[in-house]
């Protein structure tokens, strides 16, 4: 992703003229979750600038200069996000970022957590209900990963007996889109804490992590080719994550 991320953080890389971060937030808001805490790191000031200028950059406006300076926006903002922008350090690991930002969590028993580079058509309301029903501390959304390559079954003679172009695997992979009890914050122990290793491993050992199986669309934008693919889906009005 160097072509896109050398001068800006990945969450600001655009799909269809909007940052992928905006797409993720729209997904959550569509299901009724519109209070966000953003854990800022690399070039976090650019994300701050994006939201500070959001209204002006997305509307026509009339600006009055001089001693009575004022700005009048024309049109109505579709989004009603509440966004807390939390500086969590340049080199802080994923668990450490959540720990630093936890002071901004509200009084709810659970909170949701995901990454800033993946879109999906997960029914987030069903995900939260699933979490509340099983009563454990943590839920992770899982998907069956698709192979990057065509896979073959080969007999001892060398004859190919089966070929599948980029098939889905048999195992499950984390797609993010976590639902977490507030007590999970106690599993995070410093800036060097990697959420995906120590904390999740301890939750697994305690039988407190449950998988929510998602058979629909999920796609993480890790390469320039994947960036192009997501933009192609959007431009062709075939974006499965667009539910608004």
DSSP string covering 157-206:
TS-EEEEESSPBPSS-EE---EEEEGGGGGG--STT--TTTHHHHHHHHT
Query: Taking Cα atoms as reference points, which of 113, 110, 171, 163 lies closest to residue 146?
Result: 171
At 166 the pLDDT is: 61
- Express each pLDDT in 47-98 by its tens digit: 999 999 998 888 899 999 988 889 898 988 788 899 999 999 999 999 999 9
Assess if residue 244 is contained within a domain: no
Assess if residue 241 is contained within a domain: no
- CATH number, position 64: 3.90.550.10
Number of other residues whose CB lies within 10 A of the CB of residue 140: 23
Q: How far apart are the C-alpha atoms of 36 and 38, rounded to whole Å?
A: 6
Assess if residue 240 is contained within a domain: no
Domain count, the chain: 1
- 36 and 22 in contact (C-beta within 8 Å)? no
Assess if residue 141 is contained within a domain: yes
Q: How far apart are the C-alpha atoms of 138 and 148, rounded to whole Å?
A: 30
Query: Taking Cα atoms as reference points, which of 122, 140, 124, 133 lies closest to residue 180?
Result: 140
Assess if residue 31 is contained within a domain: yes
pTM for the complete prediction?
0.88
Assess if residue 242 is contained within a domain: no
At 77 the pLDDT is: 78
- Express each pLDDT in 202-242 by its tens digit: 999 999 999 999 999 999 999 999 999 999 999 999 999 99
- Express each pLDDT in 129-178 by its tens digit: 999 999 999 999 999 887 666 666 777 887 676 766 666 655 889 999 99
Assess if residue 107 is contained within a domain: yes
Write down the number of H helices and E strands in the chain. Answer: 8, 15
Assess if residue 53 is contained within a domain: yes
First to last CA, the chain: 27
C-alpha torsion 40→46→52→57, nearest 10: -140
Q: Which spans in 53-135 are helix H?
A: 54-57, 94-101, 124-134
Q: Which spans in the chain are helix H?
A: 2-5, 20-30, 44-52, 54-57, 94-101, 124-134, 198-205, 224-235
For the segment 98-117, the average pLDDT, to the nearest whole number, is 94
Residues with Cβ < 8 Å from 142, sequence gap 6 or more?
A: 172, 173, 174, 175, 211, 212, 213, 214
- 210 and 139 in contact (C-beta within 8 Å)? yes
At 148 the pLDDT is: 64
Domain holding 198, by residue range, is 2-235
Sign of the C-alpha dihedral, residues 204, 101, 181, 185?
positive
Higher pLDDT, 2 or 201: 201
């Amino acid at each position: 992703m160097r072509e896109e991320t050398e001068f800006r953080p990945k969450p600001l890389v655009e799909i269809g003229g909007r940052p992928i971060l905006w797409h993720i937030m729209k997904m959550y808001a569509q299901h009724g979750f519109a209070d966000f805490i953003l854990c800022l790191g690399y070039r976090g000031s650019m994300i701050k600038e994006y939201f500070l200028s959001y209204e002006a950059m997305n509307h026509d406006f009339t600006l009055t200069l001089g001693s009575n300076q004022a700005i009048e926006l024309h049109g109505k903002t579709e989004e009603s996000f509440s966004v807390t922008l939390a500086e969590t350090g340049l080199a802080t690991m994923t668990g450490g970022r959540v720990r630093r930002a936890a002071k901004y969590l509200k009084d709810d028993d659970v909170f949701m957590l995901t990454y800033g580079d993946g879109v999906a058509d997960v029914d987030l309301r069903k995900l939260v209900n699933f979490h509340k029903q099983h009563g454990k501390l943590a839920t992770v959304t899982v998907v069956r990963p698709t192979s990057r390559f065509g896979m073959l079954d080969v007999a001892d003679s060398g004859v190919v007996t089966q070929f599948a172009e980029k098939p889905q695997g048999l195992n499950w992979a984390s797609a993010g889109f976590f639902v977490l009890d507030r007590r999970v914050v106690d599993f995070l122990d410093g800036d060097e804490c990697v959420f995906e290793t120590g904390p999740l491993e301890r939750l697994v050992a305690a039988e407190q992590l449950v998988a929510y199986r998602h058979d629909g669309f999920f796609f993480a934008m890790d390469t320039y080719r994947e960036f192009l693919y997501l933009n192609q889906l959007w431009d062709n009005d075939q974006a499965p994550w667009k539910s608004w």
